[in-house]
Structures are given as C-alpha cells and as structure tokens.
Amino acid sequence: MTAHPATATRARTGGPQEDGPKILEHVMGWVLVAVFAMLVTQLGLL
C-alpha cells in the first residue's frame, strides 16, 4: 500500500471558503438577526 496525503485528494464540499466576500456574509448575518427580531416581536414572544 502507498501512503497518500489526505488533503490532496479531499473534495470540496461547499463549506466556507477562504476568499469569499466577508462583507456580504456580515450583512446577511445582520439581516437574519433583524428578521428574527421582527418575527419574535410579531408573535409576542418578547
């Protein structure tokens, strides 16, 4: 048997990328927080 490095043959699975647009990710996170806050207040959970 030959030893192959595990990282050389590993396929990308769609996880976080190193060179993605960080500002878009940050803005979308805050949009999600705002939508969740509006949902909570509309349902009267707070």
In tens, the pLDDT along 1-46 reads: 566 555 566 676 776 666 668 889 999 999 999 999 999 999 998 7
**pLDDT at position 36, please?**
96
CB 40 within 8 A of CB 46: yes
**pLDDT at position 4, please?**
58
Domain ranges of the chain: 22-46
pTM assigned to the model:
0.53
Cα separation, 38 vs 20, in Å, equals 28
**pLDDT at position 16, please?**
63
